[in-house]
Structure 1
Amino acid sequence: MTTSATREFDTVLVANRGEIARRIIRTLQTMGIRSVAVYSDADADAPHVREADDAVRIGPAPVAESYLDIDAVIAAARATGAQAIHPGYGFLSESVGLAEACAESGVVFIGPPIDALQIMGDKAKARDHVVRSGVPVVPGFDARGLSDAEIAEEADAVGYPLLVKPSAGGGGKGMEVVETPAGLSAALASARRVALSAFGDDSLILERLIRRPRHIEVQVFGDTHGTVLALGERECTLQRRHQKVIEEAPSAGIPDTTRDRLLEAATQAAASVSYVGAGTVEFLIDADAPDQVFFIEMNTRLQVEHPVTEEVTGLDLVALQIAVAAGGRLDSAPTVRGHAVEARVYAESPERGFLPSTGRILLFDPPQGVRVDAAVETGSEVTGFYDPMIAKVIAFADDRSTALRRLDEALGRTIVLGVDTNIAFLRLLCRDERVRAGDLDTGLIETLLPLDDEPPSPTMLMAASRAVSHVDDALGEARRARRAGQVWESLTGHDRREVWFLTDRGEVICAPGTDGPRSRAAVATDVDGDVWVSEDGRTVHLRPLDRRARMLQRLQAREQRETESGPEARAPMPGSVVAVHVRDGDVVTAGTPLISIEAMKMEHPVLAPHDGTVHLTVAVGDQVRRDQQVAHMTTEEN
């Protein structure tokens, strides 16, 4: 799709981590280009570090001190002789500062020109720019420089419901839906905190919320010779909290006239800023009136979901980025064939409100027969410092229904033990009648919530029983084996036909004996002796209990039933306290937000469990563990 480049790179630094760093490194190796990885202290043993030809430490775990440190990235490029830097997506991928630093250092930034970044990398500027070019946009306004009172006036003029979102960045981070004027102030504060933490910029824009939107994006590519092409569209409508979950190419049955309008508008928007490299122009379509198209933003980078476009076009978009950055010329857009669907596997618990999960990956076994872009492998550590996406599973077929079926089957063969995942939920989406019919809108996932936390299946319990009884072989370390053996003896005494476990939802269950038929479930035991079991894409976490532990659990359960709610407010997941909404000693009602915890770039409020006086036990900046007490409530009766 390109002619020969006007220059060549022999070394490229990848300024990112996780699956996108591994993805870029693979292409560099295929092209015969030396790859350089960068890493934080938390990623010293990460797969992308080992797979690169060279690797440079750039700082401690927090992103502001490592992956967002432009000086450290440039220093790494200089030290390794890299002629170019590929930023991947997220982090510094849309950073004007990095592009400018590259220009000053004589290093090629594999991305668009600085002018394009300045205009399209800021949602507010991009909105104003495309309006002047005649591209339709959703009614709204730029809140930069406005006081909260002035924002409230503008919001009233646009009308509710509204969507508050950061001007910088993407990925749905910091977005807040405001239904009425009463909720505006809190939404602004939360969006600013997340935007400042994730992007270093707390500027906001507000837009009218379309009730049944479909999110369609167009992959565009430009070269340094003035050519801009559209490589087809992607359906990104299946979202949760404005974060894409399942994407596909092409879209699920939009009219041809609408598709033509999308491709034309996207090409026009990219050409208006002399765009170079990979970019995505994003639109909203009203599901009830698909002829209405609204520009929402342009992502001046590669996208997480780029594999589905690669599958239907036969292109390597990373190779194309490198070729264009080296002066290659685009000719014509490829023909789109077949259908591809991608599912994002996250370390999170859908049954607990999609709270992120952290821990060591005891076993990662990806499915065969489909494409898998993974950030982890067996032994990897999932921390709270970075995005919770751990893999992408991509299925291709001649038609959409077959692609969805293949994706569902592949997810059923995907094994991740050691952290909670959303795999079972992804399978639920693949099988949903509306999804299969293409009747999509961005609120579809919310209609499936809340999710039931199903008990382990008999075969899962059988596998867990065997893991406990054969823990010596399963762990292979004397210290762990001694502890596990003690647990087994105290669990069962002279009867080795029953094992008792505690589930994550606090239930004590009895597993069957170990003499039944072999289970096909995958099983692993962690350092604490807890058992993780996976079957058909579903994972459960079980804690073995001895007699004394069972008795204590029953007493605690009885006490909990006797009181409507306990006095303690606890952290729902590990993270950092980013806001305290009340003062110590305040009298509040049940459901009042007490603090906000940030984990994996998402904010989660902790609410008062009942009416009473608040006694805080944490402060802003504190790191908290899952289930750690962050406050307790007292009443006059106490």
Structure 2
Amino acid sequence: MSDHAQPDRLFDTVLVANRGEIARRVIRTLRRLGIRSVAVYSDADAGAPHVREADVAVRIGPAPATASYLDVDAVVAAARESGADAVHPGYGFLSENVAFARACADAGIVFIGPGERALEIMGDKIRAKDHVAAHDVPTVPGFSAVGMTDGEIATAAEATGFPLLVKPSAGGGGKGMQIVRSAAALPDALATARRVAAAAFGDDALLLERLIERPRHIEVQVLADGHGHVVHLGERECTLQRRHQKVIEEAPSPVVDAVTRERLGAAACAAAASVDYRGAGTVEFLVAASRPDEFFFIEMNTRLQVEHPVTELVARVADGESVDLVEQQLRIAAGRELPFTQNQVRLEGHAIEARVYAETPERGFLPAAGEVLAWRAGPEARTDSAVETGSVVTSDYDPMIAKVIAHGADREHALDRLDAALAGTVLLGVESNIAFLRALLADPAVRAGELDTGLIDRLPPFEAPAPSEDALAAAAGARPAATPGQAGSRAGAAWDPLPGWRLGGPAEPATVLLLDDADALLAVPLQVSNRALFTSEGEIAAKCATRNEGVAVAVDREGAVWVHAEGATHRLRPLTRREALHRRLAARERAAAATHPELRAPMPGAVVAVHVADGDRVAAGDRVVTIEAMKMEHPVLAPHDGVVRVDVAPGAQVRRDQVLAHVAPAAGTDPGGHSPADHAPADTAHEASAPTS
């Protein structure tokens, strides 16, 4: 809804207390409405797009979120300094923090969100569940563990019945959630959930609920003003999740009929009205896969959701106009009434959103980082991105770097458009889940709408697509002449492009050796005329222009060649013949040897727990160290039996492949920690690192 009928602006200046794609999205609406925007940034985000796009930008602290984006005093001080009369919190960070809302009010600044009562009640899952149950909203069987000993929790868990879902009472996004299928697994789940909850939310209170097997996750978008009006804009299907994190969202749900939609909407509006809600909010429900007409309240998110664009693309009001949810948040915060009623809301077409994460699906979805050498959004879709060419993705924040949202006349049309948009999205320099998203969208169950929250976990391990001939040709032509720091020093570099020669036989074409995504060595014929030889470190880091239609190439600072071709992206590392020989010899030695004694970090991050002490005996598979990066915990496990030596301490920042610990073989075992009777080689220490939420 546009605000052209209003002669006065809603606010003069609004500070956006967030970063990345949501900050950019809010700033777009502020600019359209003629409202001055203020960005805040940490040292890690000094060059971020949202900082440049705002009218004013204020530094609020160093890279860690706890010292910047989560620092209430720093954000309020930035609002005062910039003359902001309102603050939009986006989502995450301080968006559901009642202390922040109170601090804004004390400073005379409008908090663009609900009142303190709604934040307090709905911000605590235990209190929220009890509250809405008293207002006839159906809830999942379970209990609060606040004030209970572990023994009392175990007794209550047996009474509720397994399987159970253990989750932090404060916060959301699936962080800290643990599935417990037996009493024996409960103690470890409680300890992990408490640790993650305390670190992420500053509150280790837990809620245990009956786990509904193969559920669908349905949420309802609501809007409520300060004049007693509450409406809903239909539901969103958010069932496709990995480790409780949403991956694909769509609106409307393919299994919700008109009657169920009305019932869901009524329950969501009742939950919002029960706390005198103001602004945009989302009420989340579990729906049994076999009984889509049966639903249970999970929680209410008192903020804008990541997936709000799918609702914006399908919700229509008077005269067929779409709904800008950020604009409606601003209107409500400024004291205006909703400009439409429930009877005027209708849904048109279908919209699907895919979250693009900086992660490596073929390595267990470990977080990725690096410089974005090239970025280009795909066609025929809305793309809300946190990055652009030249951006740097760090491990300091959430790994989501973009959202791609497609709209179509029906679900099949929307799916096809989303796949085409993902295929056309160019992201070079940082590994992402785009190839995984395309494979997921092509899954028969997804295409048929037969979804449940465990579908992704049941899929076979993801394998990156093999590079096409065009991709290999482009990589061979763009490879650097030498590794960084050695440019021009390799004696054989000048001879590489020349054709081979053999006495008594015809000349053979030269080949380029490339290491692909699957760690396979490929020999690619090289045409001399097509070769682009890079000789300086600056040229190696430079971004290359598109070589052919639909093919984009870039070379990073380590000399690896990134290629986007035929809807897929590959990182190909050129090898000299000497490097290839050493690689083959090393592989042969590893195949004949036992596991390596070094435990290395599978990704950059922070050490949050060391589970052993120097000199402890460990068994293969025991946890040694736990690393946290981008809001996820990843245990590093002992590769074999032995005696451990720890090289890091809790709180240490580690880089990818940094040595964390050593496991020396125990007496009576071979160098790999096996007894003489053991003959089969085990996995490497790096491969023993298994991620968990």
Aligned length: 631
Alignment correspondent of 2:676: none
- Check whether the contact 1:17–1:38 (CA below 8 A) recurs between aligned residues: yes
Give the corresponding residue for 2:608: 578
AA of the residue aligned to 1:325 = A
Q: Cα gap change, 1:607/1:251 in structure 2, threshold over 3 Å: closer, same or farther? A: same
Greater Cα shift, 289-298 or 330-339: 330-339
Distance across 1 between alignment mates of 2:583 and 2:487: 21
Equivalent in the alignment of 2:682 = none
User: Does the 8 A contact of 1:5 with 1:326 survive in 2?
Assistant: no
Q: Of the candidates 631, 637, 652, which is equivalent to residue 622 of structure 1?
A: 652
> Residues 453, 516 of structure 1: CA spacing in aligned structure 2 closer, same or farther, 3 A cutoff?
farther
SS in 1 for 2:231: strand
Q: Which runs of 5+ in 2 are unaligned?
A: 316-321, 500-508, 531-546, 672-693
Partner of 1:492: 496
Deviation at 1:431, TM superposition (A): 1.2
Q: 1:301-333: per-residue Cα shift (whole Å, max 9, x none)?
A: 000000000001111100110011001101313
Show the counterpart of 1:509.
Answer: 522
- Out of 86, 102, 105, the position equivalent to 2:104 is 102
User: Could you say which residue in structure 1 is the equivalent of 2:453?
Assistant: 442
Counterpart CA distance in 1 for 2:250 and 2:15 is 30
Summarize deviations over 1:352-387 as a string: whole Å, max 9, x none.
Answer: 111110000011111122100000000100000000
1:142-183 alpha-carbon deviations (Å, 9 max, x no partner): 122222222222212111111111112211111111122222
Q: Within 5 Å, which residues of 2 pair with 1:183-202?
A: 183-202=185-204
Contact 1:468–1:484 (8 Å) recurs in 2:
no
Q: Structure 1 residue 483 and structure 2 residue 487: aligned?
A: yes
Instruction: Verify: 1:23 aligned to 2:31, yes or no.
Output: no
* Cα distance between partner residues in 2 of 1:255 and 1:9: 40
Q: 1:547 aligns with which of 577, 581, 597?
A: 577
Which one of 256, 259, 265 corresponds to residue 257 of structure 1? 259
**Distance of 2:298 and 2:156 partners within structure 1:** 19
Q: Is 1:400 equivalent to 2:411 in the alignment?
A: yes
Q: Distance in 2 between matches of 1:522 and 1:108?
A: 46
Cα distance change of structure 1 residues 540 and 487 upon mapping to structure 2, 3 Å threshold: farther
Q: Decide which moves more: 563-572 or 414-423.
A: 563-572
Aligned to 1:383: 394
1-structure distance, mates of 2:249, 2:131: 28
Residue 235 of structure 1 and its aligned partner are, at CA, apart by 0.4
Work out whether residues 462 and 516 of structure 1, in 8 Å CA contact, stay in contact via their aligned partners in 2: no
1:332 is aligned, of 341, 354, 361, to 341
**Per the alignment, in what secondary structure is the counterpart of residue 483 of structure 1?**
coil
Give the superposition deviation at 1:521: 2.9
CA contact (8 A) 2:435 2:464 kept: no
Residue aligning to 1:37: 39
* 2:9/2:33 contact within 8 Å kept: no
Report deviation, 1:257: 2.7
**Which 5+ residue runs of structure 1 have no aligned equivalent?**
473-478
Summarize the Cα distance change of 1:491–1:85 in structure 2 as closer, same or farther, 3 Å threshold: farther
Taking structure 1 as reference, are residues 5 and 263 closer, same or farther at Cα in structure 2, changes over 3 Å only?
A: farther
Instruction: Give the Cα–Cα distance (whole angstroms) in 1 for the partners of residues 512 and 50 of structure 2.
Output: 40
The 3 A distance-change label for structure 1 pair 536 and 196 is farther
Aligned equivalents of 2:71, 2:385: Cα separation in 1: 25
Following superposition, the deviation at residue 277 of structure 1 comes to 0.1
Counting only pairs closer than 5 Å after superposition, residues 57-96 of structure 1 correspond to structure 2 as: 57-96=59-98
2:295 matched residue in structure 1: 293
* Range 330-339 or range 342-351, more displaced: 330-339
Within 2, Cα distance between the matches of 1:630 and 1:51?
A: 41
For 2:113, which of 111, 114, 119 is the aligned residue?
111
Tell me the residue number matched to 1:172: 174
Q: Paired residue for 2:504?
A: none
Compared with structure 1, are the counterparts of its residues 609 and 220 closer, same or farther at alpha carbon in structure 2 (3 Å cutoff)?
same
Q: Distance in 1 between matches of 2:253 and 2:527?
A: 49
User: 2 CA distance for matches of 1:5 and 1:444?
Assistant: 51
- Which piece of structure 1 moves more, 165-174 or 344-353? 165-174
Give the whole-Å Cα distance in 1 for the aligned partners of 2:7 and 2:115. Answer: 18
Contact 1:39 1:56 in 2 (8 A): yes
CA–CA distance in 2 between the matches of 1:516 and 1:142? 70
Instruction: For CA contacts below 8 A with separation 6 or more, give which structure has more relative contact order.
Output: 1
Structure 2 letter corresponding to 1:63: A
1:7/1:326 contact within 8 Å kept: no
Preserved CA contact (<8 Å) 1:6 1:327? no
Distance 2:220 2:27 in 1: 25
Q: Which moves more between the two structures, 603-612 or 581-590?
A: 581-590
5 Å-filtered alignment, 1:304-319, equals: 304-313=306-315, 314-319=322-327
Give the equivalent residue in structure 1 for 2:125.
123
Q: Alpha-carbon deviation of 1:43? A: 0.2
Counterpart of 1:358 (choices 362, 369, 376) is: 369
Offset, 1:504: 4.8
Retained in 2: the 8 A contact 1:491–1:499?
no
Residues 170-217 of structure 1: CA deviation (Å, up to 9, x unaligned): 111111111222222222222222222222222221111111100000
Query: 1:231 and 1:563, CA in 2 relative to 1: closer, same or farther beyond 3 A?
Result: same
Larger Rg: 2
**2: CA distance, partners of 1:256 / 1:365:** 39
- In the alignment, the residues of structure 2 paired with residue 484 and residue 362 of structure 1 have an alpha-carbon distance, to the nearest angstrom, of 23
RMSD: 2.1
Q: Are the counterparts in 2 of residues 411 and 423 from structure 1 also a CA contact under 8 Å?
A: yes
The alpha carbon displacement at 1:547 in A equals 2.8
Structure 1 position 631 matched with structure 2 position 661: yes
Cα contact 1:162–1:208 (8 A) shared by 2: yes
- The answer as to whether partners of 1:6 and 1:326 remain within 8 angstroms in 2 is no
Write out per-residue CA displacement over residues 12-67 of structure 1, whole angstroms, 9 at most, x where no aligned residue: 00000000000000000000000000000000000000000000000000000000
Give the percent of matched residue pairs that are identical in Structure 1 and Structure 2: 61
| CA distance, structure 1, for counterparts of residue 628 and residue 61 of structure 2 | 21
Q: Secondary structure at the match of 2:479?
A: helix
Q: Is the 8 A contact 1:7 1:327 kept in 2?
A: no
Distance 2:492 2:166 in 1: 54
Q: Please list the CA deviations of residues 217-250 of structure 1 after superposition, one character each: whole Å capped at 9, or x if unmatched.
A: 0000100111111111000000000000000011
